[in-house]
Amino acid sequence: MSFAHSPIFYLLLAVNTLLLAILILWMMARRHYLLPLRQLLRQIREVRYGDRAQIEHKLRPEIAGHLAHEFRQLFAALDQAQNDLESACRATESIVLERTRNLYGMVRQLEKTAQTDDLTRLVNRASFNNHLQVLFEQSKENGADLACLMIDIDHFKFVNDSLGHFVGDDVLTFVGQLLQACIRPGDIAARYGGDEFALLLPLCSISQAQQVAQRIRSLFSHEINKLTPAVLLEQPGLALGLSVGLASLNQNRPRTAQELLEFADQDL
């Protein structure tokens, strides 16, 4: 009996056929499943570092293709969620920024209101004293002059008592507008209390302050007649006027800011 017809030959043939089938199946599995899966895993690793575009749209429509499709859907959902979150954050930031601006504006307005006299719109006494302290120290440090004027309305009490507070308020408002028109940017005009007003004039000598005072008094005398009731015109001795007291850093040599104010008040 030849070897080709022996049982061993048929056994070997069967084994070889089986091995060949296994090899073919392995190559098919490797081609259709293992390689796509490896490719998908590689792309998933790349996606983990932020490159989501690496998930290809042309993987085979078997297991790897289905997995890739599910991952694409997952990452699309993640992208949408991230975009929605970023949009919400931008909207929230915009709202917070707008409200912060509004709040800052309200705080600034409150600060301004706290520092301003309601009637004349000049700075109030507390704010004036703060400006006085700052300007006094700066002027002393820089060797610059600083003038202070104290202003009082003559016979204002008679007007307020006999003609009423409405007329008195008109006079105070007029003086506030007059002082604002006569000072420079950087000067400070304040309603110090009642019918008393105060000015701070940085970089202003006593002679220059005298010119400012004369201008204020002249304008007041010229314009106040428009507000003066007839009952006052009939009593020249009670005509409204302004008294002004002057002091300056170089002229009076005050040791403190309060002392400069006191010198101007004494001159008044």
Judge whether 104 and 93 are in contact, CB under 8 Å: no
Cα separation, 15 vs 143, whole angstroms: 113
DSSP H stretches of helix in 30-119? 35-48, 63-115
Cα separation, 240 vs 232, whole angstroms: 8
Query: How open is the CA angle 148-151-155, to the nearest 5 degrees?
Result: 165
Which tokens sit at 30? 């490797």
Instruction: Considering the candidates 84, 195, 265, 267, report the single residue annotated as catalytic.
Output: 195
**Nearest in space to 245 (alpha carbons), one of 204, 196, 202, 203:** 196
Measured N-to-C along each axis, helices 257-267 and 125-142 cross at an angle, to the nearest 10 degrees, of 110
152 is catalytic: no
Cα separation, 176 vs 234, whole angstroms: 26
φ, ψ at 204 (rounded to 5°): -135, 125
Task: For tokens 């003609």, name the residue.
Answer: 163
Cα separation, 213 vs 169, whole angstroms: 22
Residues contacting 37, CB < 8 A, separation 6+: 63, 64, 67
Which sequence positions are flagged as catalytic?
A: 195
